[in-house]
Structure 1
Amino acid sequence: MNVDRIISMILRKLVNRGINKGIDMAANRGRDPQNMTREERQQAKQARDGTKRARQAMRMGRRIGKL
């Protein structure tokens, strides 16, 4: 394995982690869950679950597209 592939693999993982953190922050609206009301926490959880399902659907779409 050459160095370019290793570097691109590490960068891709870091960028994906940053994107996921940004999506989670958007779901929480930038607030700490401890400072939220019960309803706000439920809405944030629903948003996280929705993004999780969207990611799963994108993965499945990519797999189907390869066929």
Structure 2
Amino acid sequence: MNVNQLVNMIFRMFVRKAVNKGVNAGINHFAKGDGQGKQARQVTKRARQAMKVTRRLNRF
């Protein structure tokens, strides 16, 4: 493994973590900010489930 591959691997790890934090922050903001509490929680739950499914699919 050369230096370029190591740098790319580390860069991807940081970008993945930053994107996941941003997505989670957006979902949490939507869930808290909306006055329709139960409906917002359901949408949040579906969004989190969709994120889990896409992570599983991206492994292959």
Contiguous gaps of at least 5 residues in structure 1: 61-67
| Alpha-carbon distance in structure 1 between the residues aligned to 2:59 and 2:2 | 27
Q: Which residue of 2 aligns with 1:64?
A: none
Q: How does 1:28-39 map to 2 (within 5 A)?
A: 28=27, 31=29, 33-36=31-34, 37-39=37-39
- Alpha-carbon RMSD across the aligned residues, in angstroms, is 2.7
Shift of 1:2: 7.2
Query: Percent sequence identity over matched residues?
Result: 31
* TM-score normalised according to structure 1 size: 0.57
User: Which structure ranks higher in relative contact order (CA pairs < 8 Å, sequence separation ≥ 6)?
Assistant: 1
Runs of 4+ in 1 over 3 A off after TM superposition: 1-10, 32-36
Q: 1:3 to 1:58 in 2, by over 3 A?
A: closer
| Alpha-carbon distance in structure 2 between the residues aligned to 1:11 and 1:4 | 10
33-42 or 5-14: bigger deviation: 5-14
Shift of 1:48: 1.1
Q: How many residues align?
A: 58
* TM-score normalised according to structure 2 size: 0.61
Contiguous gaps of at least 5 residues in structure 2: none
| Alpha-carbon distance in structure 2 between the residues aligned to 1:33 and 1:4 | 40
Q: Which residue of 1 aligns with 2:49?
A: 49
Q: Which residue of 2 aligns with 1:65?
A: none
